[in-house]
Amino acid sequence: MRYFNLFCMVFLIAFPAAPAAASDWQVTLDEARGSTIYFNAWGGSSEVNQYVRWAAEVVKQRHGITLKHVKVSDIAETVNLILAEKTAGKNDNGSVDMVWINGENFKAMKQAGLLYGPFTHMLPGYRLVDTKNLPVTEDFTIPVQGLEAPWGMGQLNFIYDEAGGPFPARNSGALLEYAQGNPGRVSYPKPPQFHGSSFLKQLFLELAPDSDRLYQPVDDAAFMKVTAPLWEYLDRLHQAAWRKGRAFPTGSTHMKQLLDDGELDLAISFNPQDAATAAKNGTLATTVAAGVMDIGALTNCHFLAIPFNSGNKAAAKVVIDFLLSPEAQARKADTDYWGDPSVLDLGRLAARERALFPTDFRLFKGLAEPHPSWQLALEKAWQERYGH
Q: In the prediction, which pLDDT does 23 show?
A: 83
CATH superfamily of 157-298+371-386: Periplasmic binding protein-like II (3.40.190.10)
Residues 192-231: tens digit of each pLDDT: 999 999 999 999 999 999 999 999 999 988 999 999 999 9
Residues 250-277: tens digit of each pLDDT: 999 999 999 999 999 999 999 999 999 8
Gyration radius of the chain's alpha carbons? 21
Task: Between 344 and 9, name the one with better pLDDT.
Answer: 344
Q: In the prediction, which pLDDT does 205 show?
A: 97
Residues 296-336: tens digit of each pLDDT: 999 999 999 999 999 999 999 999 999 999 999 999 999 88
Residue 2 has pLDDT above 90, yes or no: no
Establish how many alpha carbons lie within 13 A of residue 362's alpha carbon, considering only the half-sphere containing its beta carbon.
Answer: 8
Residue 18 has pLDDT above 70, yes or no: no
Q: In the prediction, which pLDDT does 362 show?
A: 74
Report yes or no: 295 and 78 within 8 Å, Cβ to Cβ.
no
Q: How confident is the model at residue 4 (pLDDT cuts 50, 70, 90)?
A: low
Q: How confident is the model at residue 45 (pLDDT cuts 50, 70, 90)?
A: confident
Residue 10 has pLDDT above 60, yes or no: no
> What CATH architecture applies to the domain 11-153+301-363?
3-Layer(aba) Sandwich (3.40)
Where in the chain is CATH 3.40.190.10?
11-153+301-363, 157-298+371-386
